[in-house]
Structure 1
Amino acid sequence: MHPRCGDRPVTRGAHGWRTMRALLVQSRSPRTYWSFEHSLPFIGKAATMPPLGLATLAAHLPDRWELRLRDLEVGPLDDADLLWADAVLVSGMLVQAPSMREVVLRARALGRRTVVGGAGPSSAPERFPEADHVFRGEAEGRLDLLVRALAGDVPAAPRDLSPEGDGRPDLSLARVPRFDLVDLSRYANASLQYSRGCPFHCEFCDIVELFGRVPRVKTPEQVVAELDDLHGRGARGALFFVDDNFVGNRREVARLLPVLRAWQERHGFPFQLCTEASLDLAGAPELVSAMVAAGFQEVFVGIETPSAAALAETGKRQNLRVPAARAVEELTRAGLEVFAGFIVGFDSEGPDIFDRQLELISGLPIPRAMAGVLMALPGTRLWRRLEAEGRLREESAGDNCARPNFVPAMDERALLSGYRRLVEALYAPAAFYARCALVIDQLPVRARAVADAGADEGALAALGRVAWGIGVRSPRRRLFWRLVAHALRRGAGAVPRALALAVIGESLIPYTREVVLPRIDRALAELGARASTPVAGAAAVPGLAG
């Protein structure tokens, strides 16, 4: 057993006993619709959001441990960092598994002890056989075995360092994340988590499996402490509340919002807020109004499908309470710009679903319409059902823009051909900009610009990059200037939103054409068909079969 200095784990080094050194590594994501790799240079950023999970973990490790945090979304991992560390803790989602395993193999080749954690290992620990240890679940109040094992106080420490129980701690135990370990200026958004869990139980969703159906929340005082910390570190502008359903516990969020608004007012509204919520938020106008008053400007919702049968099939009955088009319009006109997820491939859907999706989305002020093929994630009700039916055929890699990882009810060639035509239509430049114009038409022009464009040097430089990069060099420059002119007719306050949407389009449109469509074509080739070959069912879909 290693000697200890009070609560301070130490390890033996070349010069005697010294403090434990832990390297925290955020794995790299593959290119996806959420990467925005062509958009980030316009605003001078390297990545979308800082690694909140690892910053939270760092806050709960022993105070006297020496810590370094490296985010592979921002820069490469040097061997010097690995050699510095006694233990390497790697975090990520299933889609980041290849990057996680690569880091683990590098660390082990240099003789370093490795632990994997985060959403990916929590739901599928068997996919990380190279790691010395796995930690499943949340960190707060659950790290004792991990800390003792890494410090050498647990002879023959088990591979699984997760304590028993459901892994869902009281969030009043949560500490302020250690954002001193990262450079916040490299990120497009700051991040904060208020709650975990969701009261709904959609068949395909792994959130309730990871975090439970009873949303747990931090106190308003904890949220204020995190806001103070971010503000004190110079964070300004976009702040993403990363909750999977911010309004899952409506009674508690109603207590938080006045506190959040008061904090914003005291500090001159330094943050423009964004979050995720269930679509039935539209049925709570007082809550929406309170969110807008607190500085929320954007919300992600899971619309999924216009098919009532598919919504019932997957257990997303909250979306049946109000028509999606009406809900989106109400949220937008109240001041919340909507971006949304859509899914094709539910068992009850027929080949007309692609035209129905296109008709729905084309009429909505949702430029960022993230459409994907249904995938079965490990541990979900969908996974268990398909496994029982003998329809699972491979592990999900988290990529929902190709073949499903199960045998679909629809002919698979019809599914992929219809999906191809859907995303091609959605991200045709004119169609994307038409939805941007709907945002400009319906979103209120703010009398108070909440950290929108500003007049600081960084914002002016970004404006110059946008004007040159899109307004002059982009093949979409004519559409860009038409959107700017359209925004000016609404008022100067609408222009920053138009510019931001155009910047987003510079990632979504090329990604569709450069990555998604070729990926689907390869999948169709695997099935023995060309994307241009007429497919029974898909060819009959009006507007998509050309």
Structure 2
Amino acid sequence: MPRFLLISPSPPWDADFAGLIEADGTAVTRVPPTAIATVAAFAPPGVEVVLQDETLEPIDFDAAADFIGITANVSQLARAKWIAAGFRAKGRTVIVGGPHITLDPGAFEGLCDVAVTGEFEGVAEAFYTDMLNGALKPLYAGGRPDLTTSPIPAWDLYDNDRALIGIAQTSRGCPFECNFCDVIQYVGRAQRHKTNDQVIAEVQKLYDVGYNRIFLADDNFTVYRKRAASLLEALAAWNGRDGRGYVTFHTQVSIDIAADDRMLALCAEAGLTNLFIGVETVNEESLKESLKRQNVAVDMRARIANIVSHGLEPVAGLMVGFDADSRRIFEQQYDFAMQLPVGTFKVSSLSAPVGTPLYEDMLRAGRVVADEDRTQYQAGDQITNIHPAQMTREELYVGTRWLISRLYHPDGFWTRLQAMAARLAPSPLPARSHPHDPPGRARSKRLFMEMMGSMRRRDSGVARVLEQTADLMRARPDIRDTLADILHTWLLNFHGQIAKGGYHPAWAELDSPPFDDPAFADQQAPAPMPRPVRVDSIQPLRA
């Protein structure tokens, strides 16, 4: 029986998805890798599949396996190439699939024996038949298949108590055309959906294996209102019903949902409480430049306030480094962000992933950096792969890191949390059922409490916020659970930024980025940290 080792490489630097690690080195990741679990679900009898998440365990190049499968998006590229080269050197048959090889097949030239481009559903049967017959082809082109053929991922093969949040993919594709987005280049702009029954079966499976937070992986969950409403009604009919405890769902939406009160009410009823929104920038010229038309001429403050008034928790993405951005953009973004009722921001430097219109534009203009890995690698470490128009790459890094530091500062978070609390409506879930609290969450709960205790001891600002939030929760028991979730999201992301070097405690106290101050000339990217970090490894931030 052939043994197929499926590997999800670790991004070399990504604070937004940093996990936790115990004192004995046992890691807990943020989100489990759905790609390898889906590929495994197609395996027929006669193929033994083993899943490996590199964020949990280091790669063993002597592992017993007949075939090595590696799936990688742009943030995993560097590790994927290293892993592929290591197994090729051992004489193993290496198979590479996923978004990056689809958009840039040449990236793995000489590093793999078999390339799987596009999505796996369309080629799964032929691929596994050829594997069993010992006749794998050099290329399988999967295209963009009907998602009703996609199975429930093989979560029974994954160590689920070592992930913080489960994941269920509900659709692929997004109709918008942001020029920096590689997702639409890979999965297309025509959104394809799983059926309601498929999604409910997937979330039930995640419930059964021990998750109480579930990310609905959808590039724009509510863009097709009729379909979204139908699925939300199905989720509301499942969540906290028939003796089940309730779970909370997370997903990605665009800001236009804020103008649809019915859709927001359906989100609350379904338990879809945490909404990531690509706000991007206060600079309208940058929105136009990047074709982010859905955000142009929008009163972002009023719309996000309306989302919060329905009991929902927005998490906002901000981006800096567009051609229309001067060095003042960082302070402008900070002032803008502090007016929004948002607890957690995810801040990034503009980069140009291979395969995007932005990459092609920058390549023609000679503005892609002359470094092979950096040319292809997205700016997870806040070092962009392009030359900005109105600042240097180093200035963009310093400004981005300053903005992260200012927005994650405990005092800034507390100001925004109070603004959220003033608008938050109570969740309907506690009146329906009890929270799902399975035994499989014990490890992640313990690690989170240890992380919170470590941050409290080492940072007086965090200690103060925890006390203030506890007082607020006692004063507002109707929104206690929502406040706790907002605090949880901020702490987990703040911990990731500290541990991965994104947060600079001295810069967090400055009113503007330290571009010209030699005392703050720390302009190098943080050292790569491919695994989660120990909860007790954070150094003191202030007295």
* TM, length-normalised to structure 2: 0.83
Give the Cα–Cα distance (whole angstroms) in 1 for the partners of residues 516 and 414 of structure 2: 35
User: Highest Rg: 1 or 2?
Assistant: 1
Q: CA contact under 8 A between 2:246 and 2:434: conserved in structure 1?
A: yes
1:328 and 2:307 matched:
no
Distance in 1 between the 2:27 and 2:213 partners? Answer: 12
What code does the residue aligned with 2:108 have?
Answer: F
Structure 2 residue 511 is matched with structure 1 residue 511: no
Equivalences for residues 428-439 of structure 1 within 5 A: 428-439=409-420
| Match of residue 491 from structure 1 | 477
Contact kept in structure 2, 1:58 and 1:178, CA below 8 Å: yes
Please name the residue that 1:241 is paired with. Answer: 216
User: Do residues 122 (structure 1) and 102 (structure 2) align?
Assistant: yes
Instruction: Report the 3-state secondary structure (helix = DSSP H, G, I; strand = E; otherwise coil) of the residue aligned with 1:201.
Output: coil
Give the aligned residue type for 1:289. Answer: A
Aligned residue number for residue 147 of structure 2: 171
Per-residue deviation, residues 133-175 of structure 1 (Å, max 9, x unmatched): 22111111223553355345548x32x3325xxx110111111
Matched, 1:251 2:226: yes
| Alpha-carbon distance in 2 for matches of 1:454, 1:86 | 39
| Residue 463 of structure 2 is aligned to residue 482 of structure 1 | no
- Matched with 1:301 is 277
In structure 2, runs of 5+ residues without a counterpart are 508-514, 522-543
Answer yes or no: is 1:425 the counterpart of 2:406: yes
Residue 186 of structure 2 is matched in structure 1 by 210
Question: How much has 1:421 moved relative to structure 2?
Answer: 3.0
Give the aligned residue type for 1:296: L
With over 3 angstroms needed to count, the CA separation of the structure-2 counterparts of 1:107 and 1:451, relative to structure 1, is: farther
Q: Residue 453 and residue 497 in structure 1: after superposition, are their counterparts in 2 closer, same or farther (change >3 A)?
A: farther
What is the CA distance between 1:23 and its match in structure 2? Answer: 0.9
Aligned CA distance change for structure 1 residues 171 and 517 (closer, same or farther; 3 Å): same
Greater RCO (CA < 8 Å, at least 6 residues apart): 2
- How far apart, in 2, do the equivalents of 1:429 and 1:63 lie? 53
Q: Distance in 2 between matches of 1:386 and 1:131?
A: 29
Give the Cα–Cα distance (whole angstroms) in 1 for the partners of residues 107 and 184 of structure 2.
21
Q: Does 1:180 align with 2:156?
A: yes
Structure 1 residue 288 displacement after superposition? 1.4
Q: Is the 8 A contact 1:39 1:503 kept in 2?
A: no
Structure 2 counterpart of 1:232, from 182, 185, 208: 208
**1:454 deviation in Å?**
5.8
Whichever residue aligns with residue 284 of structure 2, its letter is: A
What amino acid is aligned across from residue 387 of structure 1 in structure 2? L
Q: Distance in 1 between matches of 2:117 and 2:400?
A: 35
How far is 1:415 from its partner?
A: 3.6
One-letter amino acid of the structure 1 residue matched with residue 352 of structure 2: A
What is the CA–CA distance in structure 2 between the aligned matches of 1:252 and 1:492, rounded to whole Å?
Answer: 31
Q: Contact (CA 8 Å) 2:203, 2:214: kept in 1 or not?
A: no
Aligned equivalents of 1:491 and 1:231: distance in 2? Answer: 27
Tell me: CA distance 1:148–1:249, structure 2 relative to 1, closer, same or farther (3 Å). Answer: same
Query: How much does 1:263 deviate?
Result: 1.4
Name the structure 2 match of 1:12: none
Q: What amino acid does structure 1 have at the position aligned with 2:72?
A: G
Q: How far apart, in 2, do the equivalents of 1:137 and 1:463 lie?
A: 37
| 1:192 counterpart letter in structure 2 | A
Aligned length: 500
Shift of 1:460: 7.7
Q: One-letter code of the match for 1:247?
A: T
Residues 1:388 and 2:342 are matched in the alignment: no
Q: CA-to-partner distance for each residue in 1:3-53, whole Å, 9 max, x for gaps?
A: xxxxxxxxxxxxxxxx22211111112232213335999xx9701111111
Per the normalisation by structure 1, the TM-score is: 0.83
For residues 439 and 280 of structure 1, the distance between their equivalents in structure 2, rounded to whole angstroms, comes to 20
Cα distance in 1 for residues equivalent to 2:273 and 2:181: 25
Correspondence for 1:134: 115
1:21 aligns with 2:3: yes
Q: 1:45·1:186 contact (CA, 8 Å) conserved in 2? A: yes
- Give the counterpart letter for 2:244 in structure 1: G
1:303 is paired with a residue of what secondary structure?
strand
Correspondence for 1:59:
41
Determine helix, strand or coil for the equivalent of 1:442.
coil
* Superposition deviation, residue 380 in structure 1: 0.8
Is the CA contact 1:123–1:210 (under 8 Å) kept in the aligned structure 2? yes
Contact kept in structure 2, 1:374 and 1:400, CA below 8 Å: no
Matches of 1:293 and 1:284, distance apart in 2: 15
TM-aligned CA deviation for residue 401 of structure 1 = 4.2
- How far did 1:333 drift? 1.2
**Amino acid aligned to 1:186:** R
In the alignment, is the contact (CA less than 8 A) between 2:216 and 2:249 conserved in 1?
yes
